Every structure is written in C-alpha cells, then in structure tokens.
Amino acid sequence: MFWEGVRDGTPFIVMVGPFALLFGVVAAELGLSLAETLGFSTLVIAGAAQFATLELLDAGAPVSVAVGTGLAVNLRMALYSASLVPYLGALALLRFQGREEPQASRLAYYAGAAAPICGIWILACALGAQAQSTVAAVPGLDFAVPLTFLAMVTPMLKDWPSVAAAVVAMGLAILGHQLPLNSGMLLAVAGGMVTGATLEGRREAHG
C-alpha cells in the first residue's frame, strides 16, 4: 500500500516543486540561513503559512502577529483533519499496535502519498536557497511573494461570498495598514471571514 501511495502522490511534485524553489529563494533573499530555511520546511511543511509568516516578520511585525497569521492560514487544515477521520480513523497516540488491518494499510498508503510530496518540498527549498545568489539579479523577484499569494487566491474566488470576503479583507488591510503592530492585518482577515460567512448564510436562507 505504501508504494501505491507513492505512485499516486508523485504527480503532485509538479505543483509543489516550483513553490518550494520559490520559498528557498525568498527565504535566502531575506537573509535566512540554509538551516533556518530548512527548519521552516521540515517543521512547518505548509508553504502559504511559511510565506505569510516570513513576509510579516520582514515587514517588522511582532512574532505573535506573524505566527498568529501563519496559524490562521493553516486553520483550514482542521477541515482536512476532520475529512481524513473516516479513512484513517481516530489515530490517537499509542493506539497503533491494536490497529485493524484496513486502517493500517490506509495509513501506509497515506504515508506513501505524503513521502514524495514532503521530500520534494524540502529538497526544492534547499535548491532554491542555494540558487538564490544566482537568481538574485533577476529584476522584480522581490515581488514574487505578493504575486504568489494573488495567484493562489484566484482559484478560490469561485462564488460571490468568496469575492466579497476578498474585497472586504483587501479594503480593510489598506485602510488599516498604518495601525500599530500590523494589527490591521488581523482586523482585515476577521472582516473578510465574517463577510463571507454572512453572505453565504444569507444566500442559503433565500436559496
């Protein structure tokens, strides 16, 4: 089952590889050592949150805001966690020995699928960090992170509540960008979330 997972997970390296390279380049550009870059990529393994946290630290935000924003970006993973429960069961710690056969093989499949993706994520981050001095001369590379965020958000703008949430968050971030400690960011995120959820609720009520 492990190797079936590896086979099914491998195509995703096409998606993950370029972002990992970019993270390596951006992190090195901001002066992170290779160890620090790989610390991010092996301990966090979440590109969007890594980019967001680095971006805020670079902007001089306090650690609490940088980490808080990174975690907010990752909150959606609670949904993934919940959606995996029917397949993997509740894998509470120390219950591995008594595992029933189908669950054990599903876990092997999952580990197999994750292996090439995590592997390429870490490897390409290291490559990007090493290549930074070569590509640093490319003009406009400083703007890669904002453009990456924009590119990532476009496939999510598939209904009006999502578009409204994005527009409100953008507007509040612009209005609040002078607020101390980058707190305008958090207000903007909260405003966007409430806008989206409210509009969705209203649409359902009318729907």
* Six token digits for residue 158: 């598939």
Site for other proteins in 21-50 (CB under 8 A): 30-32, 36, 39-40, 43-46, 48-50
Task: Give the residue with the Cβ less far from other proteins, 140 or 207.
Answer: 140
Contact with other proteins (CB under 8 A) among 25, 73, 117, 129:
73
Task: Give the residue with the Cβ less far from other proteins, 36 or 119.
Answer: 36
115 in contact with other proteins (CB under 8 A): no
Q: d(Cα 61, Cα 109) in Å, to the nearest integer?
A: 40
Judge contact between 113 and 2, C-beta under 8 A.
Answer: no
| CB atoms closer than 10 angstroms to residue 177 | 12
Tell me how long the chain is. Answer: 207
Report the amino acid identity of residue 101: E
CB of 7 to other proteins, least distance (A): 23
* Six token digits for residue 166: 């994005």
Site for other proteins in 127-186 (CB under 8 A): 138-157, 161-162, 165-174, 177, 185
CB of 180 to other proteins, least distance (A): 14
Burial track 124-146 (b if 16+ CB lie within 10 A, e otherwise): bbbbbbeebeeeeeeeeeeebbe
Residue 111, SS3 per DSSP: helix
CB of 75 to other proteins, least distance (A): 5
Task: Give the residue with the Cβ less far from other proteins, 119 or 161.
Answer: 161
Using the rule CB under 8 A, give the single segment among 4-12, 115-123, 125-133, 189-197 that binds other proteins.
Answer: 189-197
In the stretch 74-113, what mask flags binding to other proteins with x, by CB under 8 A?
A: xxxxxxxxx-xxx-x-xxxx--------------------
Task: Give the residue with the Cβ less far from other proteins, 43 or 180.
Answer: 43
End-to-end CA distance of the chain: 44
